[in-house]
Amino acid sequence: MKTLFKIIIVLLMLSSNVFAQKYITKNGKIDFYSDAPMEKIEAKNNQVKAALDAATGDIVFQVLITSFEFPKALMQEHFNENYMESPKFPNSTFKGKIINLKDINFTKNGKYNATIEGDLTIHGVTKKVKQSGTIEVKDGKVITYCKFNILVKDYGINIPNAVAGKIAETVQITVDVALDPKK
Amino acid sequence: MKKWLKILIIIAVIGIIAIIGVLKYINKPNKDIEKAKAEYTLNADVLYKEYTLNKAKADSLYNGKVIEITGNVSKIETPSDTMVVAVFTQKQDTSQIKTDDLLGDLNAEGGLRCTMLPNHSEAAKKLTPEIPVKIKGLCNGMAGTDLIIEKCSIVK
């Protein structure tokens, strides 16, 4: 009876680790890069919130726009006030799913190719996106990495002609978010 | 000296000063938050309550401002060697948080999250819930149930 009890406990523990594990972070990194003819602009955000459910493949990101840090104060001011209108749209989110979940073994260290599909909301505009990236499983941590481009006009962000040479129409987004197992 | 030459020199000097002024304005570095004077000093619990009761009003008062927070930290997170976050956890209204989606999981625990400046990281690692502290930083507003304060330094 005792042995059976032990087996059940072990099985329960295993199943909770393998099948019901969620991963979470509040300190993920997202950078963006705009390469326009007259100026290159880079901004970093180290406060990205993200969660991943290894059982279902559901994944969410929540990004506070005012947390993007620019090398120059004026760039940051224009980004928040003129383009992203961060007082009106303070957060950007992504809610989606890993569609090739079966290819990823969350219990074994390694780098896996992942395709993610879902809704990306920037500046109050939601678009369906599908992107490829990698998921690295490293000693219990899950590191999501993805690089993709977005067209700023797709998200209703208007760039006046006067500054068109300084801000690119396409902005590169780099997601580098390490998630820890949720306790 | 001929009159037209004098006028030309004056115009050139004014032009150079204007160009320097514009360049300085465009390339102005980010504010040094550690040296900046705080506009508000508040208890962590009081500030959080203000945001939860009336976010728009709190945003207009504190977002983008240098503030000082007093209170006792709940925990210190060290997500990387160079990053230290002092957290003042705040009790959440669980009836307001959806538990059936991942955003609910993300926001089940919330509070003030103070990202320390690198030169204050080591001191921040030694903070404990028993000792009251005063932290200065830049208030960036709410992300879900977290109030984000950045470029933080320990005042005392």
What residues have CB less than 8 Å from B119, skipping those under 6 apart? B34, B153
CATH superfamily of B31-154: Nucleic acid-binding proteins (2.40.50.140)
Determine the Cα–Cα distance for residues B15 and B9; give it in Å rounded to an integer. 10
Between the two ends of chain B, the Cα-to-Cα distance in Å is: 63
Domain ranges of chain B: 1-30, 31-154
Determine the Cα–Cα distance for residues A136 and A53; give it in Å rounded to an integer. 15
Top residue of A30, A44, A47 to mutate, by most chain B CBs within 10 Å, is: A47
Determine the Cα–Cα distance for residues B26 and B12; give it in Å rounded to an integer. 21
Q: Which pLDDT score is estimated for A17? A: 47
Pull the structure tokens for residue A113.
């190719």
- No. of helices (H) and no. of strands (E), chain B: 5, 7
When pLDDT is cut at 50, 70 and 90, the band that residue A4 belongs to is: low
What residues of A are in contact with residue B25 (Cβ under 8 Å)?
74
The answer to whether A47 contacts B150, with C-beta atoms less than 8 Å apart, is yes
Within an 8 Å CB–CB cutoff, is residue B105 touching chain A? yes
Determine the Cα–Cα distance for residues A142 and A152; give it in Å rounded to an integer. 30
Average pLDDT value for residue range A156-168: 78
pLDDT at A6 over 80: no
Q: Which ipTM value was assigned to this complex? A: 0.81
Instruction: Give long-range contacts, CB 8 A cutoff, 24+ apart: A165-169.
Output: A165/A36, A165/A37, A165/A38, A165/A39, A166/A36, A166/A38, A166/A39, A166/A41, A167/A34, A167/A36, A167/A39, A167/A41, A167/A83, A168/A34, A168/A35, A168/A36
Determine the Cα–Cα distance for residues A70 and B63; give it in Å rounded to an integer. 17
Average pLDDT value for residue range B57-62: 94
pLDDT at B110 over 80: yes
Average pLDDT value for residue range A71-91: 90
Looking at every residue in chain B, the average pLDDT score rounds to 90
Percentage with pLDDT > 90 across chain A: 66
Torsional sign, CA B80, B126, B88, B76: positive
Q: Which pLDDT score is estimated for B9? A: 92
| Cβ atoms of residues A116 and A110 within 8 Å | no
The tens digit of pLDDT for each residue in A23-39 reads 999 999 999 998 887 78
The answer to whether B79 contacts A53, with C-beta atoms less than 8 Å apart, is no
Give the domain A21-181 fold: Lipocalin (2.40.128)
What residues of A are in contact with residue B144 (Cβ under 8 Å)?
49, 62, 91
* Residue A39 neighbours by CB distance under 10 Å: 14
Chain B closest-CA separation from residue A149 CA (Å): 24
Name the residue of chain B whose CA is nearest to A27's CA: B79
Q: Which pLDDT score is estimated for A82? A: 87
Domain ranges of chain A: 21-181
pLDDT at B97 over 70: no
Considering CB atoms only, which of B25, B106, B141 is closest to A90? B141
The answer to whether A49 contacts B113, with C-beta atoms less than 8 Å apart, is no
